[in-house]
Structure 1
Amino acid sequence: MNDTDPTDDPRPCPPEEPDLNACCGNGCTPCVFDIWAEEKRAWEKAVQNWESRQRSRLKTVSDIGF
């Protein structure tokens, strides 16, 4: 990964929310919506980490004078 090129580290894409009809309504464990909620939490954490890297990268670039 190149520290001065943010295109080398794209923002994580959110998980696709299941269609309302994807749930069968039988109380499955895990339900498709439970799986999506876990994926969404992981994505939110990944976005936080990505934003932190971007702030750090921008600070490094401004310190260098680019």
Structure 2
Amino acid sequence: MTPDDDPHPIEPEPPLPSDCCNSGCPICVHDLYTEQLQHYREQLAAWKARHPGSQ
């Protein structure tokens, strides 16, 4: 499998300060970002394992 067939995962963008309304939402944009970041890190680790020596 080549990197062209298996592209590098894309890191999620953090929410802007204005994205959070600070009203105590049950699921805040910061919570969603944290989940997305964890998923990205897992995907990145798996990608690196499939493509040793790649960055």
Alignment TM-score, normalising by the size of structure 2: 0.87
Larger radius of gyration: 1
Partner SS state of residue 40, structure 2: helix
Whose helix fraction is larger, Structure 1's or Structure 2's?
1
The alignment-based identity, stated in percent, is 34
Matches within 5 A, 1:32-47: 32-47=29-44
Query: What is residue 63 of structure 1 aligned with on the other side?
Result: none
Query: What is residue 22 of structure 2 aligned with on the other side?
Result: 25
Alignment TM-score, normalising by the size of structure 1: 0.74
The list of structure 1 runs, each at least 4 consecutive aligned residues, that deviate by more than 3 angstroms after superposition, is none
Gap regions ≥5 residues in structure 2: none
Query: What is residue 64 of structure 1 aligned with on the other side?
Result: none
**RCO higher in structure (CA 8 A, sep ≥6):** 2
**Residues paired across the two proteins, number:** 53
Does 2:11 match 1:14?
A: yes
